[in-house]
């Protein structure tokens, strides 16, 4: 299952729905779909079953982990949004950006969207580790090329939204210039412990132009899954074997520099922070293993990890 926070959010949403008045329900039926593509109302598209992916899920990644996560798998589910009538505008956006980056292409490269999907990472086919929305598309010219682009604006899991909200609320309370970081007027250093599908670091890097986001993930299989099956930018990854990596030449086209501010390290978090010289403005810790257990060393106040974080002066 998702973390307790996600389950709690789901229960609260259910209870709110149960006590809603008939008039509110009628108004809701007439209301347009939420602008937020990660709104909880879409969770039925990707939730599956409590004991597994459920019917209609397509397995797109499956590999055994040697770091306590058991079998790491990713399943795909159809996404209802964006609607197909919106796809041509995105195809034109790809075409225009490609022409700016490769002016000699003379319009030869054409891009076609195949569709949008939810991609859900699970440990041992049971624990929902993370959820992301991806765009699948291909290039028609030259060698046939298929690409995935994770949608950075889409946070589908409630507890991730809660983490972001709490962290970004705390910074202004510490007199931090958050709008300046959003517009790239001042620098911001963020540390994320645990990669999963990468939706949290990708969201932060896309929304804050001044942010350098460092991610630490101990399991190379999780990193491979996030790149190969969940559309995370490959060029941000450090210490990943070439056999596990997809071509990185598409990153500039898709991310326009966002990927240059993402630094994904394959390392033990305790070892990483012991040797890291960065001083972070914000730290997010979301690291659970295949048994849905949060490692003690990452929350023990007397442990080396927390003490080294305090030594670095992280907010």
C-alpha torsion 222→216→175→257, nearest 10: -70
> What is the torsion angle, in degrees rounded to the nearest 10, for the CA atoms of residue 69, residue 75, residue 77 and residue 79?
60
Categorise residue 54: left if φ over 0, alpha if ψ from -120 to 50, beta otherwise.
left
111: its two tokens = 């891009």
Query: What pLDDT is recorded for position 274?
Result: 93
pLDDT at 292: 74
Whether 287 and 222 have beta carbons less than 8 Å apart is answered as no
The overall longest dimension of the chain from CA atoms, in Å, is 61
pLDDT tens, N- to C-terminus, the chain (315 residues): 333 333 333 333 333 333 333 444 444 445 566 789 999 999 999 999 988 899 889 999 999 999 989 999 999 999 999 999 999 999 999 999 988 888 877 666 789 999 999 999 999 998 899 999 999 999 887 666 889 999 999 999 999 999 999 999 999 888 899 999 999 999 999 999 999 999 999 999 999 999 999 999 999 999 999 999 999 999 898 765 544 445 556 888 999 999 999 999 999 999 999 999 999 999 999 988 767 778 888 888 888 888 888 876 554
Residue 140, classed as helix, strand or coil, is coil
d(CA 79, CA 9): 22
Q: Which of 187, 201, 205 is nearest to 258 (CA)?
A: 205
pLDDT score, position 116: 98
Please give the model's pTM, rounded to 2 decimal places: 0.84
Judge contact between 306 and 299, C-beta under 8 A: yes
Question: At 77, is the secondary structure helix, strand, or coil?
Answer: strand
Report helix, strand or coil for 305.
helix
Burial of 175 (0-12, 13-18, 19+ CB in 10 A): exposed
Instruction: State the Cα–Cα distance between residues 153 and 226, nearest whole angstrom.
Output: 16
Residues 6+ apart with CB under 8 A from 102: 109
């Amino acid at each position: 299952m998702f973390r307790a926070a996600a389950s709690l959010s789901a229960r609260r949403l259910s209870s709110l729905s149960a006590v809603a008045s008939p008039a509110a329900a009628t108004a809701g039926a007439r209301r347009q779909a939420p602008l937020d593509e990660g709104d909880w109302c879409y969770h039925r598209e990707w939730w599956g079953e409590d004991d597994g992916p459920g019917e209609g899920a397509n397995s797109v990644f499956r590999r055994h982990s040697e770091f306590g996560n058991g079998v790491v798998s990713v399943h795909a589910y159809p996404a209802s949004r964006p609607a197909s009538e919106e796809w041509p505008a995105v195809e034109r956006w790809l075409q225009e950006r490609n022409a700016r980056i490769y002016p000699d292409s003379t319009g030869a490269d054409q891009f076609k969207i195949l569709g949008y999907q939810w991609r859900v990472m699970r440990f041992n086919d049971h624990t929902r580790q993370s959820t992301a929305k991806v765009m699948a598309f291909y290039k028609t010219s030259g060698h046939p090329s298929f690409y995935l682009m994770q949608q950075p604006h889409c946070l589908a899991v409630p507890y991730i939204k809660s983490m972001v909200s709490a962290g970004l609320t705390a910074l202004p309370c510490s007199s931090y210039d958050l709008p300046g970081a959003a517009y790239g007027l001042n620098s911001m250093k963020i540390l994320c412990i645990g990669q999963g599908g990468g939706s949290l670091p990708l969201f932060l890097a896309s929304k804050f132009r001044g942010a350098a986001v460092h991610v630490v993930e101990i399991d190379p299989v999780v990193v491979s899954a996030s790149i190969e099956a969940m559309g995370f930018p490959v060029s941000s990854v450090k210490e990943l074997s070439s056999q596990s990596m997809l071509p990185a030449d598409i990153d500039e086209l898709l991310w326009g520099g966002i990927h240059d501010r993402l630094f994904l390290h394959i390392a033990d978090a305790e070892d990483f922070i012991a040797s890291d010289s960065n001083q972070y403005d914000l730290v997010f810790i979301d690291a659970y293993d295949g048994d849905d257990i949060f490692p003690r060393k990452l929350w023990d106040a007397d442990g080396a990890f927390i003490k080294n974080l305090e030594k670095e002066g992280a907010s």
